Amino acid sequence: MKLSREVIATEDKRKLQDISGEEVLSCYQCGKCSAGCAMTEAMDLLPHQVIRLLQLGQVEEALHSRTIWVCASCLACSARCPRGMNLPNVMESLRAQVLRPGDRSLNPADIPYELLEIIPEQALVAAFRKYT
């Protein structure tokens, strides 16, 4: 497949960047993150390779990587990154997409009024955190 701006700018990639708050194209693949990661022996893709997949719009492949579950969110990589990339945020966003697939958003207007009167406020807040 010929690479182009359209090919790499997938909807999945936009969603991932929205959730993580990270711009994956800012990574220039120096590999410092992977060099400093203590978990690479258990990973199938090195951290900078996960970022490379995302840069190319291949989010699905990153979602199937063991690396995203092995990452210990220790922040060693982001401390070394010359571009200030927060890799643990990216890994967490990928895990969230695996665990929360599809559109399960909660529309407040869909909650029956009778339920609103009896549901504990804490339960509502928790539901909105989870589904919005």
Binding residues for ligand SF4, rule: CB under 6 A, are 27-33, 36-37, 39, 47-48, 51, 71-77, 80-83, 85, 87-88, 91
The CA distance from 33 to 81, in Å, is 6
> Shortest gap between Cβ of 117 and ligand SF4 (angstroms)?
45
In the complex with ligand SF4, which residue's Cβ is closer, 66 or 130? 66
3-state helix, strand, coil in the chain (%, to 5): 60, 0, 40
CB-CB contact of 3 with 48 (8 Å) = no
Token digits for 26? 């800012």
In the complex with ligand SF4, which residue's Cβ is closer, 21 or 108? 21
> Shortest gap between Cβ of 32 and ligand SF4 (angstroms)?
4
CA angle 100, 43, 27 (to 5 degrees): 75
> Shortest gap between Cβ of 28 and ligand SF4 (angstroms)?
5
> Shortest gap between Cβ of 68 and ligand SF4 (angstroms)?
9
In the complex with ligand SF4, which residue's Cβ is closer, 72 or 125? 72
SS3 of 9, please?
A: coil
